[in-house]
Amino acid sequence: MEDSEMGKRINWDKVSEFEEMIRAQGLKLSEGSRKFGIPLWQLYALSRQKKNDSSSERVKRSIGDTKTDEAENSKTDFAVKADKRNQEVGRFSDSPLPEEVQQLILQYRRKNPRAGFKRIEDRLKSEHLVVVSRKQIRHVLKIHGLLEGHDSSFDASEKPVKGSRRFEAAYPGELYQMDVTYVYLTGTPVLYLVVIVDDFSRFCVGAQLCHDQKGETLIGVLHNACINHGQPVKLLTDQGSGFYSWSARQTLFQQYLDDHKIEHIVCEPHSPQTQGKVERLNQTIKRECLSRVRFNSFSEAVTGIADYIRGYNFGRPHQGINGFRPADRFYGVIGEKSRIESELMGKEVDFSKGYCILKVQDHSVSVVNSAEGIAVLMDGKLLQEVADERLH
């Protein structure tokens, strides 16, 4: 670097020595310039250069440290993931149930966080023919960190309401329960969900979203249910104005029942437990369907409710009927299932090896016994996977 005024090459090493002396004596650069006869601009130029060099070095060190940290973090992340995998494998080994069965339990709980031990037990039995106790289910959920605080109350028996008496129809179609509940959708006036349940089977024979609860509307819902699923001998309702009149004059709804020879049973005021089955379904629909999905229109809600009811009737085990689906009991499938189960129970199967392989037509059926759990597989697959391919 040259001095533009003097045309001489500047000895920057010498300037640096003076700059260090100035700072060592605690002088300002302007004071040092006058004391040692060094041009002030040279001292400033040197100071700026040192600052730039220092910043550059810090940047280089920072980049190097970042790369080192990234490499270390990468190693750490890999180690953490590997550790998690090892822990997961370790958790599966903490239960005597096969890993496949544990996976079914975990998948169902993650998909249905509010599902209790009994619900999971019924699902495994009905959909996969896997017999697992509630105690085993609880253990699996606990070791995998999916045991919730509310689980402690899931298996507690329901306490009957004081003064109530439990009753149940003797066969499908003997008694229907019918009720109306309010439904609120965003941007839509209040709607009315009319629900009809078969008392014996808990099968929902009718669930229709309506704009009003007039007698004509209620008759329409009941009439459709009778056409699709048969006419009941008796119908239980509350004393709502659409159903019942205190005056001597009958409501339009009561006239319909008389014309079709359906006995009308009206429950006492302020006693919703009398209609316990339909009231419970109303709550379930609101909790598991209407509160989980935000419907943008009336038609969307109608479709969503219909889909939910279909799954409730045909795909969901019901604890009130020993884990059977409502459709099983409504259509009399339970007797056939019981007959098949009794025949299988009568067969002597050797489980001394922990498993049994049977030949059914062109398929290989494996029954695997692990501790208290039994899993049934067809052609190496869990039966549910095969059932989905064969039945749909």
Asked if residue 146 belongs to a domain, the reply is: no
Its pTM stands at: 0.51
Q: Are residues 251 and 304 in the same domain?
A: yes
Question: 298 and 368 share a domain?
Answer: no
Report the SS3 class of residue 9.
Answer: strand
Same domain, 312 and 362: no
Q: Is 322 left (phi over 0), alpha (psi -120 to 50) or beta?
A: left
Would residue 16 count as lying in a domain? yes
Residue 113 belongs to some domain of the structure: no
Shared-domain flag, residues 354 and 311: no
State whether residue 345 is helix, strand or coil.
Answer: helix
Domain count, the chain: 3
Q: Are residues 282 and 187 in the same domain?
A: yes
In the listed set 93, 119, 141, which residue is the last one of a domain according to the structure? 93
Look at strands 175-183 and 234-237 and give their pairing. parallel
Which of 71, 93, 115 delimits the end of a domain?
Answer: 93
pLDDT one digit per residue (tens) for the chain, 392 residues? 444 444 567 778 888 888 888 888 888 878 878 888 888 787 778 777 776 666 556 545 655 555 555 556 655 555 555 555 555 555 667 777 788 888 888 887 888 777 777 778 777 776 766 777 778 888 888 888 877 755 544 444 444 444 444 567 889 999 999 999 999 888 888 999 999 999 999 999 999 999 999 999 999 999 999 999 999 999 999 888 889 887 768 889 999 999 999 999 998 766 655 678 899 999 999 988 988 888 889 999 999 999 999 999 988 787 777 778 888 888 876 555 554 554 544 444 454 545 555 555 556 666 665 554 666 666 666 664 433 343 34
Furthest CA-CA distance within the chain: 124
Whether 222 is covered by a domain: the verdict is: yes
Distance set, CA 141 to CA 134, 148, 232, 314, 369 (Å): 11, 9, 43, 27, 21
CB 203 within 8 A of CB 330: yes
* Domain assignment of residue 370, given as a range: 350-391
Amino acid (1-letter code) at residue 314: F
DSSP string, 271-294: -GGGGHHHHHHHHHHIIIIITTS-
Do 252 and 181 share a domain, yes or no? yes
- The CATH number that applies at residue 200 is 3.30.420.10
Asked if 183 and 287 sit in the same domain, the reply is yes
- Nearest partner of 109 among 144, 146, 140, judged by Cα: 146
For residue 4, tell me if it sits in a domain. Answer: yes
Supply 141's token pair. 């959920």
Do 239 and 373 lie in one domain? The reply is no
CA 185 to chain centre: 22
Q: Is residue 337 part of a domain?
A: no
Q: Is 126 a member of any domain?
A: no
Contact 113, 148 (CB under 8 A): yes
**Domain shared by 314 and 376, yes or no:** no
pLDDT at 153: 43
Q: For residue 72, what pLDDT is reported?
A: 60
**Is residue 233 one of the residues assigned to a domain?**
yes
- 221 and 308 share a domain? yes
Q: Do 232 and 360 fall within a single domain?
A: no
SS3 238: coil
- What radius of gyration, in Å, describes the C-alpha atoms of the chain? 38
**pLDDT given at position 147:** 76
**Do 179 and 313 have their domain in common?**
yes
pLDDT for res 233: 96
The torsion defined by the Cα of 328, 332, 334 and 336, in degrees rounded to 10, comes to -120
Which of these three, 93, 112, 147, is where a domain ends?
93
**pLDDT the model gives residue 42:** 78
- For position 377, what pLDDT does the model report? 66
